[in-house]
Structure 1
Amino acid sequence: MVFPPETEEYIRESIENSLGLPVSAKTLRLKLLASEDERRRLRDKIFLLQGLLSEADSRLEQYRAEASMNAQGLRRCIEEKEAVASGYADLVNHCAKLQEECTLYERDIEMLMESCDDLARENEELRVQLKGTSVTTLISEVESLTKDKEHLKINLDRAEEEVKVLFEENNILAEENKKLLNLLNRERHKHGSGGTHSASASAKRKRNSSPMVSFIEKAINFHSSDLSRQPLSPLQLNSPNSRMHKK
């Protein structure tokens, strides 16, 4: 196998160096160049790795920021989910209440339908009764009620007139009573004064007894006239019994 001369020279010098033989300046210069070249390559690689590391750091920060944002979004999602769950529970309770109210409304509707059926039956019965009742009967009832109204009006007018008469007669009786009381008081006063002047007193009593007797006679005549006066007209035409008899 044939190697290039530079390789053969490098191998030979490496063997000599390992054996402790002195190395030439050319070999040392070549090794220095090679080490510098290697150092440059390593430095370039370090720069490249540093760039990659900075890029990785920036990506890591970006990933951290995204993770923080995702965590916040996840937290918000959890809170929204809890709110939705509580709202769903409230909706379930409200739905149950609405179902109960619907049940009550259905019962009320059933009761209303039953009452409507009852009213319809009553209406039909009334229609049948109205059909059975003749128009002449209704007209006669209306005429009877009109007559009762007229009789009531007449009786009320008569009662008002009789009340006025009674009021006037009561006033007259009050005046007569006052006069009688005054005469009685005078007679008592005269009787209480003594019997010294018997002749003159007896004559005066005879003269004074005549007006007293006249007042008493007027009162008696007044009472007899009251007794002979007609009473109030009876309201029998307006009584329910009279209507029953009429029908």
Structure 2
Amino acid sequence: MNAMALKRFVQENQKLAAECANLLTQCNKWERECNKWERECLLYDRDREALMDFGNEAHERAKKAEGTTVEENLLDSVLATLVCKDEVASGRAFLEANTSLESCQRLLKMWNSKAEEKVKVLFEENSILDEANRKLLRQSIEGKNLHDSGGKHTGSASAKTNKRKLNPKICSPIEKKINFADPDSARKPVTFAR
């Protein structure tokens, strides 16, 4: 009985293996078909989106053309009621000239924005250079002070603040003017030739 059961078991196992192989081939076939349909769906979606975009652009162009036509018709009717045909032609010429002015204005605005951006960049660079100049000036003044004092730091108030003492005759807070009669005056009066 064991041999019979074993034989049946082997036969059932072979049937199941054949059925499994059959299902596997069908599954592979369906998977290939599924991949094919997925690609088709993607292509369909792309085509549909392109058609929708084209339709939207065409609709916008049609609206713009319709608006332009309506404007031209209204302009013609208004001008026709107000003036004669010669003046209509001159009015059209005026409008065409203004259209070119609008494009010039757009160009000027574009150039202005570019110039403003360049000004901002130059301002930032100038600030950086200004700071570097201040540092160099401080270092130069410190180097001069060290050189003038023989390499020793001075403790005087004028050396610490880096201020020069001014001649009280030239810069007096009371007089607030330069005395031109003084021979020690640093500045000569301006004379005009007659």
Using structure 2 for the length normalisation, give the TM-score.
0.38
Q: Which has the higher helix share?
A: 1
Higher relative contact order (CA 8 A, sep 6+): 1
Instruction: Specify the structure having the higher radius of gyration (Cα).
Output: 1
